[in-house]
Structure 1
Amino acid sequence: MTPRPKALVTGASGGIGAALALAFAERGYDLVLLARRSDRLEEVAAGTARFGASVETLVADLSTPGGLAGAAERAAAGDMDLLISNAGAAGYAPLRDVSAAEVDALWRLNSTAPVTLAHAVLPSLLAKGGGSIVTIASLLAFSSGVTAAALPARTLYVAAKSATVAFTRTLATELVGTGVQATVVCPGQVATEWSGGANRNRPDAMSAEDVATATAVAVARGEAVCVPGLSGPEALDRLQQAERALLTQGSQSSLAHRYAKSL
């Protein structure tokens, strides 16, 4: 019998993480589920039993150096086929109101952890010649230039998720031809406990199960960017075109006229 592939899912105790665990268990994966709450992890693990998945649970807080180091050690063990970095926290607040300790913890959780875990798992995936690295970001990663009253104070969160998007997209190009792929998932509003459950009853909020389904389909297709609510690729195509134009037009040997000294 062919052994089942194995997936490490962080932030797996609820919401999108729990839905991802169930979605990939249904698709034939064994699981390593990581989160801070052991009781919730056990509940999710029990829910995967109907799919025949073998489940290991790992209690760790990725916002701490020790928690992240322990998770990286498990990711580097050599038995993973899929890494899903889902753990995160909103930390919505003006930057001036965030303490130095919170800046450190939130940045480690939302931005450093996906890079550290990808770096840990990558050697074994490359040695196998296959596998996937998935990061869960947010549509807010593309909101840095948008001003709207409905958007939360989000400077630190957007910076971290923008970094995750850039990291994963660039990694995807780096991995072309290796058999290993990278996918970043950017959901919009999702009806979970996130941010105190603020989106749970929003009519425009997607279910965690639909986000997980989109993620599984994107991984199967080898997509570098997955936006679960985006009906077509045109917006992403325009984004890439704008990036190329900026690189081409902005890389010049002479100073742009609009910056020439005029005073």
Structure 2
Amino acid sequence: MVNNAGINGYGPFAEVDAGLLTRVLNVNVVALTALTRAAVPGMPARGRGAVINVASLPAFAGDLPPDPLPRRAVYAGSKGYAVTFTRTPAAELAGTPLRVQVVCPGLTATEFHLGAGDAPVSGERRVHDEGGMPAADVVTASLAGLEAGEVVCVPGLTDAEAVARLAEAELGLRAGSGSRTAPRSSHGE
């Protein structure tokens, strides 16, 4: 199963229509979760299966300023959810013939960026003015990554260790789970 539906709701957070932001969350988070949940339980009985959730590099963009990136608070947050969510069932299914992957392309040569997701893109099919990676190349990279066991696939990433460094950084952050505050948080004590 490939969860590729998504809308962006781009714009300054305080100015984007609240209804559009709800639609972004419903498509990018709620539908992705529900569809993954519907697909995965039947896979063990068949002894095979895969889920590919499509996120985006803005999942890792956090507070990077706009230009060249769009204003993207809810979109980036929803794609961050897709990354974190996908990694968990992938870990739960490790060691089985089942695969779960999140693919995080950068700018892709589709019409996706020509609208905010509040209405279909009208006119003839065309792509973002900046071009981007051909969609077929994103698919090829994702499938090759799935075959190689990549849980997080970034099609244009040449530094293969970057994802491992991210996981190491996350492990370091989880070391902050304790019963006492860190010295920098103790207000002068």
Same fold (TM over 0.5): yes
Give 1:246 deviation, angstroms.
1.1
Is the 1:126–1:180 Cα contact (8 Å) retained in structure 2? yes
- Residue in 1 aligned with 2:79? 161
Give 1:141 deviation, angstroms.
0.3
Q: 1:259 aligns with which of 165, 182, 185?
A: 185
- Residue in 2 aligned with 1:130? 48
Q: Which residue identity lines up with residue 86 of structure 1 in the other structure? A: N
| Structure with larger RCO (C-alpha < 8 A, sep 6+) | 2
TM-score w.r.t. the length of structure 2 is 0.87
Q: Deviations over 1:76-114 (max 9, x none)?
A: xxxxxxx10001111101222223322221101111111
- Residue in 2 aligned with 1:200? 128
Is the 2:113–2:128 Cα contact (8 Å) retained in structure 1? no
Counterparts of 1:199 and 1:192, CA distance in 2? 5
Counterparts of 2:26 and 2:129, CA distance in 1? 30
Is the 1:169–1:183 Cα contact (8 Å) retained in structure 2? yes
Counterparts of 1:174 and 1:148, CA distance in 2? 36
Moved over 3 A (4+): 197-201
Report the more deviating stretch, 97-106 or 227-236.
97-106
Q: 1:218 aligns with which of 142, 145, 149?
A: 145
Uncovered stretches (5+) of structure 2, i.e. residues with no partner: 116-125
Q: Which residue identity lines up with residue 244 of structure 1 in the other structure? A: L
Matched, 1:174 2:92: yes
Q: 2:162 aligns with which of 222, 226, 235?
A: 235
Q: What do you get for the CA RMSD once the two structures are aligned? A: 1.9
Structure (1 or 2) with the larger CA radius of gyration: 1
TM-score w.r.t. the length of structure 1 is 0.64
Counterparts of 2:158 and 2:67, CA distance in 1? 26
Is the 1:189–1:199 Cα contact (8 Å) retained in structure 2? no
Q: Which residue identity lines up with residue 158 of structure 2 in the other structure? A: S
- The structure whose residues are more often strand, as a share, is 1
Q: Deviations over 1:158-210 (max 9, x none)?
A: 1100000000011110111232110000000111111218963426x211111
